[in-house]
Structure 1
Amino acid sequence: MTDETLVKEIAAQLRNPQGQKGIEMAEMMNQTNIAMTLHSIACLDIEPHQSILELGHGNCGHLAHLLAQQEGLHYTGLEISALMQQEAIRLNQSFMTQKQAEFLLYDGLNLNFAEQQFDRIFSVNTLYFWQQPVALLNELYRVLKPHGLLNLTFAQKDFMQQLPFTQYNFELYDLEKLEHLVSQTTFQIKTYSIQQDVVKSKMGDLVEREFMTATLYK
């Protein structure tokens, strides 16, 4: 396998994990993304008995941490990857049995939910793959309750463009580009926080990563 072929395969698996390599990629993503995921959750300002939606949960190894934030929470996870849905279900059977969590598939745009259904929404490292970001933000606005929060957590453009696989079907963002995107919707940016950590890249190297969690409100 050539270096270019490997890089393209990594890019494809990051977008939509499939097969045994997809399972391995999901575990790696859970490990490398966990700091970003925990930061996104911490910035959600979760209150008891709230309904929480996540887009692109991967294997959802963070669900126990999320549900421990407050009592009486209910979690809904959406994925475009059937494999990730299956892995999340496999790893979180107990929460599903207790009716605390459900995992559903979607097409990357249309949300099959009633208006004003969720108190909090978050998504980590999916923004790069949104095919119609304005339309999807409008859908998220529709299903979010008044005064609800949406957290988007993503690695900064300056960092991401150094990675070889991001040249293949990744749309990279920084604060300025995010502000322009949000300005085309009814959302307002409430606050944002920039963090740094050191992770092993998908290519196996240790790299310093700068990421942002932007909190949007309705």
Structure 2
Amino acid sequence: MIKIWNRTFEDMSNWAIEKVDIAESDYILDVGCGGGQTVYNLAKKAKKGQVSGIDISSEAVKSSIEKNKREIENGKVKIYEADVANLPFTSEYFDEITAIQTHIYWDDLKKGLSEIYRVLKIHGQLLIVCEKDKINYHMKSYKENDEMKQLLFEIGFKKITINESGNWIVFICDKD
């Protein structure tokens, strides 16, 4: 199933990532890395940086490690079993953070976003990417774009840009 998700969400992930500038030296975190396809694609862009992935599922972590074995051996990619609500990184560590089709499953959305904000560098960006119908189905709160924007502002993000394409949505959140 995890490998199927790699293929299913790759186009949506790439569409969203193209909306931001990723520097070759960026340190990037993919929250809910699943099978590791987004980590793999990000590592190609951040050639001189580092890409980390976290997932709460040990099976997803194994799959992501398998997908990124070569880059892990080179020290360019790191994969962790971790919960977004308790990230194992120092404050202001990452330039970019992605959350692809994952925030809808977090136990505590506000806590997860607060942890992301903590580990994101000043002038860094968070991309929350999801299918709109999945948001409507899985989320009890924050289904509407304005509700989600308000929560992101409360967390501390200063600028939030929303892009939509068909059933896809990305929130690009700037920390200034």
Give the TM-score normalised by structure 2.
0.90
Structure 2 residue 138 is matched with structure 1 residue 181: no
RMSD: 1.8
- Other-structure match for 1:11: none
Distance 1:152 1:42 in 2: 13
Paired residues of 2:149 and 2:160 also in contact (CA < 8 A): no
After superposition, the C-alpha distances for 1:167-208 in whole angstroms (9 at most, x for unaligned) are: xxx216331231232132111343121012xxxxxxxxxxxx
The unaligned stretches of length 5 or more in structure 2 are none
Provide the identity percentage.
Answer: 23
Q: How many equivalent residue pairs?
A: 173
Aligned residue type for 2:172: T
- Other-structure match for 1:126: 102
Question: Which of 72, 75, 85 is matched with 1:109 structurally?
Answer: 85
Distance 2:107 2:38 in 1: 26
Change (3 A) 1:66 1:142: same
Paired residues of 1:120 and 1:149 also in contact (CA < 8 A): yes
Distance 2:135 2:75 in 1: 41
Give the TM-score normalised by structure 1.
0.74
Change (3 A) 1:214 1:33: same
The unaligned stretches of length 5 or more in structure 1 are 1-24, 197-209
Structure 2 residue 160 is matched with structure 1 residue 190: yes
Structure 2 residue 146 is matched with structure 1 residue 213: no
Cα drift, residue 39 of structure 1 = 1.9
Question: Which of 75, 79, 85 is matched with 2:61 structurally?
Answer: 85
Paired residues of 1:134 and 1:184 also in contact (CA < 8 A): no
After superposition, the C-alpha distances for 1:132-180 in whole angstroms (9 at most, x for unaligned) are: 1112111111111110000000111xx3378xxx4xxx21633123123
1:149-188 to 2 correspondence within 5 Å?
A: 149-156=125-132, 159-160=133-134, 166=137, 170-171=138-139, 173-188=143-158
After superposition, the C-alpha distances for 1:80-118 in whole angstroms (9 at most, x for unaligned) are: 000000011112110001110010011341011111100
Distance 2:44 2:69 in 1: 16
Q: Give the ranges of 4+ consecutive aligned residues of structure 1 lying more than 3 Å apart after TM superposition.
A: none
